[in-house]
Amino acid sequence: MKTFDKKQVDVNGFWSIEDNPISKVGVFPYLGSEIGAPEPDKVHMVYRPEEELSNPETLASFNLVPFIDDHEFLGVDGTPAEKKGVQGTTGESATFDYPYLKNNLRVYSNFLQNQIVQGKKELSPSYRCDYEFTSGVFDGQKYDAIQRNLRGNHLALVDKGRTGPDVAVLDRYPITNDSAEFIAMEFTPEQLEQLRALIREMLAEMSAAADETKEEETQDQEDPVTTEEKEAVEEVATEAEAATELIEAAAEAVEEAQTALEEVQAAAEEVKEAPTADSVAKLNKAMAKLNKVKVIRAKPAPALDSATVIKQIAARDALAERLKKHVGVFDYQSMTSAHQVAKYGVKKLGIRAADGDELAVIEGYLQAAKPETVVTDSKPRGSDTATKL
């Protein structure tokens, strides 16, 4: 095998990286929605202790787990591995060398290798765990909860994380935790239909104006043009020009709104991954920009703020986690609210519910059903680590 930096490449082009950190002891920020805390939009500091990472059962659980691009929980409670696409694996001899949990890595796919070569080198494990809501201090940092009984599910190559710059791939890039997901907000169907209707109306007016102008020109060839007729033609031309400007303005508004939505999405992802004062301020700024975008609405839409967005996402995720125990795994990430999750749930379960009452009905059903409780993180969160690829 020939060696490049800290990786080895065999005759098949597969990579091997030995003794790579994939998790770390420390105190890290999590939103309450990530750890099943009563206050879903509050930031909680969570302690990952040495005795848990060094536990033989924890170490064994991180042996031979799938290595994938970006997080997606795999297996019986998540996506089938073959559907996600496994790009490599961890080794079979995980060790603990304070403060890191380490393991060997194998990378089989050209896709993941290219991602790493292009600079995506941060690692993040995903795992089930229990949360003990006990406060304390570790290394001068206060914490609100402790992670217990970590059991590995997969290792992901990610863009950003929460651990720090000391665990990295090859050139010591920062390693990160699992990436939180954020559903991009879009125009409502009513808003889009209004835009389409406006454009159709403008086009019709322009077409009619053009026909009238052509008719006037034909008459000009037969009869002298009066001052009144000339003014009428000029008025029609002015109206057609104004209609064109309105169409261009509508198109610009749509483009501006789409750009603002993308900025909100990116900022919200940062908040979910690392909810610091800076990331929250960035999200607030993006939300303010979005709220200033002038779009055509049948009714004035209420202004959105970052706290509302985070709370809506947390409520959607929490309900989906509870519901999937009854209906199986489903793509709730394409849904923008808990109400949409509830509408899916009543339909899937065959429960009758009046329009608008789906959330109350599904809550009642879940309360009564009381399925067997699995004591794990509501949304598996990985630690922070990187590869020495």
- Asked whether residue 144 carries a pLDDT value surpassing 80, the answer given is yes
Q: What was the pLDDT predicted at 169?
A: 37
pTM value is 0.47
Question: Three-state DSSP class for 143?
Answer: strand
Closest CA to 106 of 83, 86, 85: 86
Q: What was the pLDDT predicted at 233?
A: 62
Q: Which residue has the higher pLDDT, 95 or 188?
A: 95
Average pLDDT over residues 293-299: 48
Question: Three-state DSSP class for 134?
Answer: coil
For residue 301, give the amino acid letter.
A
Count of all residues that appear for the chain in the document: 389
Average pLDDT over residues 182-187: 36
Could you tell me where the beta strands, DSSP code E, fall in 78-121? 88-90, 95-97, 100-107
Distance CA 358, CA 337 (A): 12
Could you tell me where the beta strands, DSSP code E, fall in 172-299? none
Task: Determine which of 75-79, 153-157, 240-244, 315-319 has the lowest per-residue pLDDT on average.
Answer: 240-244
- Asked whether residue 321 carries a pLDDT value surpassing 70, the answer given is yes
- Asked whether residue 16 carries a pLDDT value surpassing 50, the answer given is yes
Q: What was the pLDDT predicted at 296?
A: 46
- Asked whether residue 383 carries a pLDDT value surpassing 60, the answer given is no
Distance CA 79, CA 378 (A): 16
Q: Which residue has the higher pLDDT, 94 or 237?
A: 94
Cross-strand bridge partners of residue 137: 142
